[in-house]
Amino acid sequence: MNKTQEVIDKVSQGLRISLSEALELVKRASIHDLGSLAYQVRSKLYGQQAFYIYNQHINYTNICQNACRFCAYSKSPDQDGAYTYSIEQIKDEVRSRIKEPITEIHIVGGLNPDLPYSYYLQLLKSIKEIRPDVKIKAFTAVEIAFLAQKYGISPRKVLHELHEAGLDALPGGGAEVFDPKLRQKLCPEKISGKAWLDIHREAHKQGIPTNCTMLFGHIETWEDRLNHLQFLRDLQDESGGFLCFIPLPYQPANNNLKADGPDGLDFLRMIAISRIFLDNIPHIKAYWVFAGIKAAQLALWYGADDFDGTIVEEKIGHAAGADTPRGLTVKALCKLIQKAEFTPVERDTFFNVSP
Among the listed ranges 33-41, 158-166, 219-227, 313-321, the one in contact with ligand V47 (CB under 6 A) is 313-321
Q: Which is nearer to ligand V47, 320 or 340 (CB)?
A: 320
User: What minimum distance in Å lies between the beta carbon of 346 and ligand V47?
Assistant: 16
d(CA 295, CA 317): 16
Q: How far is the CB of 223 from ligand SF4 (least distance, A)?
A: 24
Q: Which stretch binds ligand SF4 (CB under 6 A): 64-72, 130-138, 236-244, 320-328?
A: 64-72
Question: Residue 71 interacts with ligand SF4 (CB under 6 A)?
Answer: yes
CB of 143 to ligand SF4, least distance (A): 8
Residue from the set 187, 226, 248, 276 that interacts with ligand SF4 by CB under 6 A: 187
Task: Work out whether 250 is an interface residue with ligand V47 (CB under 6 A).
Answer: yes
Minimum Å gap between C-beta 290 and ligand V47 is 6
Q: Which of 270, 320, 337, 345 binds ligand V47 (CB under 6 A)?
A: 320
| Closest of 133, 57, 119, 56 to residue 88, by C-alpha | 119
Q: Which of residues 105-124 bind ligand SF4 (CB under 6 A)?
A: 110-111
**Residue ranges binding ligand V47 (CB under 6 A):** 70-72, 140, 171-174, 176, 211, 213, 215, 246, 248, 250-251, 255, 287, 290, 308, 316-317, 320
**Residues lying near ligand SF4 in the complex (CB under 6 A):** 64, 66-68, 71, 73-74, 110-111, 142, 187, 190
